[in-house]
Amino acid sequence: MNELEQLAGRVIVCGFSGVEAPPDIRSWLADESVAGVILFKRNIDDVQQAAELITSCTRTEDPSLPVLICVDQEGGRVARFGDPIIKLPAMRKLAEAADLELTTTAGAVLARQLRALGFNLDFAPVLDVDTNPRNPVIGDRAFGSTPQVVIDHSLAFANGLHIGGVLSCGKHFPGHGDTDVDSHLALPILRHDRARLEEVELYPFRAAVGRLPALMTAHVIFDALDSVPATISRRVIAELLRDDLGYDGAVFTDDLEMNAVSTLYPIEESGLLAIEAGCDILLICSDVEGAGRLREALAGEAGRHQAFRRRLEEARSRADALRRRVTTLSPPIPLENALSHPEARALEERLQRLA
């Protein structure tokens, strides 16, 4: 593998099918040419098998630059693990308790258990404001229908994740809460003017600047900002998020296989456009071959155009900086200890009363 291919791979997080990492993933991990992996229910038989799979994905890592081992474990209907990992309610239900200490504890207990398995990044919390009852994809995943409730509880939950030893990633910038289309299936369009976006959708993301180490984009067109999906919009990522909001953490794309973008562009093109727009880490949740094609496309573009190579190097630098943050978090404790931790037992009792 040449230098440019390795550079390109270091901005990709990839998922796969099955309960073992496929040969390409193992090869990229051995070459240190992938930023990380993401696991889903399809990859998991039980916690012991999950821990062994994660170990197989981290065995060759440089200790100072851990591989990102990612999961979507929000609570409620978005949870890749069942028992014995703690079952959190939907985030709206958690926030309705109006107890920020409870929200922080929920994040910390969950993170401690995920960390014991080997995860180091959770794609949570949701920063979207739930203002549309017809929204098919956000709904009770959001902490609430007002920006301040979302800010208070999302930051509390993120703080809990960090206490428990897992990095947080807020989503979905610049806001997926008022859409009436699921971006997994089609491309949503939000027609609010800029003043409304500032008042509602963008408000939690402004509060997250300097607090959350990573954010994830939305595959949504915001008419007031651009005519293309936010993930591939320089106006949204480079100008609004970086220049206006001043965010300097790592920016993930949402899954590039989702219909909102994949029906418009092949992965090789959407990934390139996302890097040009200012994203740092490209998420491909199942298509390993597509991830390989994307790496080749990025490397080729970097070889042809110095400006793109500089942007790719900047993205790699942010991806690497995020990975180094893992080493600053609490180290894992044995899984049995995490599952039986007094805080976990107390939280389960409180959640039962809440239910």
Residues with catalytic roles: 184, 254
Q: Are 220 and 189 in contact (CB under 8 A)?
A: yes
**C-alpha to C-alpha distances, 343 to 86, 110, 148, 266, 354, nearest whole angstrom:** 11, 11, 27, 46, 16
Q: Are 61 and 67 in contact (CB under 8 A)?
A: yes
Token pair 């270091």 is found at 10
Query: How many residues appear in the chain?
Result: 355
Per DSSP, 281 falls in state B
Task: List, in sequence order, every residue forming a beta bridge with 171; answer none if it has no partner.
Answer: 126, 216
Q: Are 42 and 22 in contact (CB under 8 A)?
A: no
Q: Following CA atoms 345, 52, 17, 250 in sequence, which dihedral angle do they give, to the nearest 10 degrees?
A: 70
Residue type, 263: T
How many CB atoms within 10 Å of residue 291?
28
| SS3 assignment, position 56 | helix
| SS3 assignment, position 154 | helix
Token pair 């180094």 is found at 324
Q: Are 205 and 161 in contact (CB under 8 A)?
A: no
Cα 183 to the center of its chain, rounded Å = 15
d(CA 199, CA 102): 27
